[in-house]
Chains A and B, each alone.
Chain A
């Protein structure tokens, strides 16, 4: 008994490993597991203090620090970013339900302004992050990125990449609705 057990133990261990590996592989292939999608380190933490010159009025400053009385979105965008164009309609819908603060990431102000004239301006305030330093503080690794902030200034969700219809309907809108009910 003991002998056959010790002989088959390695095989057993290998079988366990093979099962785990194949589950991971199947989940990756079916799109359920997305290894390239990075979790934000900032979820549940307060927003990083951010003060940026306003896009349309460089003398004024856009401040993302103080807790507001209601939840809001922070959206990093740039005129050079094609997916940002793709998510413009989704942002237009969101703008009817929630305040959106835009941050023009590594973009010339005049380019950002032209982008907004062409594709619509869903933002309540826009900061100009010319150097990308605010992006570093928020852990942004590619535009567009969207953060949902609760009324007490905590980051609830980060979505990297353009917002499409599915993300809008199934993730963002329900979350926003529940946040707004709480508030």
Chain B
């Protein structure tokens, strides 16, 4: 039974380790201390018995946490009030539970904890006694054996010793291994004598990291500025605009990214690569919602090239949004099939695919088989489709409620602080997502009114108005009339600031055409044509539009 001897050794080792003097760092500050040294000593003693509930493995005497400080103050307050140690501990135990005591009390829940060592010792002792009585393990004789013992007897005794030795040595070796592994682990990580790493001393490390982050940001900003300059210099170069879009994306400046992509797209002959980038950026700008403009683009891309990965991915997202999980599964499965195995997007698509399959209530393998065997008919069994769509609708409603709550919040804040033009623009975007065009128009009007002297902001409002118009070309004409009337007010304000700006001229022409005033549209766009290089792609497109107007 060397195993039990080893066990006892382990227990002894633990005890001696725990009673080692441990160098302590105290968290207590001078002003917290009581003037009466006897009371203060009691306070310190109590603090060591109480657990900090934030750090959870420190006493409140050790912990720097705010809550620990409060608890120390509470202990001292109760001490000054004349409470005895037991009352103070039980007061805190009542509020925070047994967990606040570092020494768990003996109760029904903790009896196992307390009893285990005793039980283990009893069991071990019992086993030793039992096996001795059975004579399985004779101790080394302290008295010389009677001379009568023969070699034969000795041999048979040896045999008894020999047989269990395999199992015993295995047990002893295993327990030593565990002991040594535990000791290595404890000295490496668990030892309370390891130096602490207070935050204040790591300030330089943290500062260095902060500086690195700043440097990275500055670099990105520089790249953005450089790209912007490049597009200014040669606005007809598509590469420059794409670079600008990438730089803007790095900085999270979505509006500028969209602008750059739109320009790049207008410079090409409807390049589907750029189109898909635009669709992706639009989706990102709407926090992952595939907005109508993006859907339009996706449809155009897939009509031209059914295997465009970005468009396929986004199309799946759109299907998920609509609750058409089966369609999403189809899309993404196809995308994985046609993608190279090591394409960077495969893992993301796979993850999404799994979720879509789960929502659709189908096993992925089953879907795969069904698709391969018979792709003509609807491949996916409609597993309680009704209940699924009902559940999807319910959570959708709750989600919508949440968004509406946030929009209402924003609205309230803006009513209190109406000078925040960008806030109004954000609100307008939110209304557009929620499909409330009337309110979106109103918000855009307020956004413009809030920035009477800021030309850039007026331009941004005009762009949003244009997009709001594109959202719903099937809308009733009175919506369109309102859109144009709001646009006219904004145009007037912007004209007052910088009447010759090319972008503004473009918007003026666009809204004039929308209003049905072809002459006015022609007037603005002709003026714009004079301001841009005649050979540029934009100029070519503009001339095309002007031709259409003339017809």
Contacts and interface: CB of A to CB of B under 8 A. Distances in A.
Interface of A: 2-4, 6-11, 14, 36, 38-42, 48, 88-90, 92-93, 106, 117-120, 132, 135-139, 141-142, 165, 169
A65 B147 CA distance: 89
A2 B405 contact: no
Given A48-B95, A92-B409, A141 B131 contact: no
A54 B66 CA distance: 24
Q: Across the A-B interface, give the 6 residue pairs with the lowest CB-CB distance, nearest first.
A: A41-B97, A141-B53, A139-B95, A92-B405, A7-B167, A139-B96
Contacts of B167: 4, 7-8
B58 to A, nearest CB: 13
Contacts of A2: 134, 136
A89 B95 CA distance: 30
A6 B167 CA distance: 11
Nearest to B409: A120
B97 A139 contact: yes
Contact of A42 (B95, B136, B399): B95
Tell me which of A10, A38, A118 has the highest count of chain B C-beta atoms within 10 A of its own C-beta. A10
A169 B391 CA distance: 12
A54 to B, nearest CB: 22
Interface string B83-123: 00000000001111111000000000000000000000000
Interface residues of B, number: 42
Contacts of B374: none
Contacts of A117: 413, 416
Contact of A6 (B54, B74, B136): B136
B94 A41 contact: yes
B397 to A, nearest CB: 11
Given A6-B130, A141-B53, A93 B416 contact: no
A14 B405 CA distance: 56
B409 A132 contact: no
A15 to B, nearest CB: 12
Given A7-B167, A117-B416, A41 B95 contact: yes
Contact of B54 (A39, A142, A165): A142
B413 A118 contact: yes
Contacts of A40: 97
Contacts of A48: 95
Interface in B482-507: none
A95 to B, nearest CB: 9
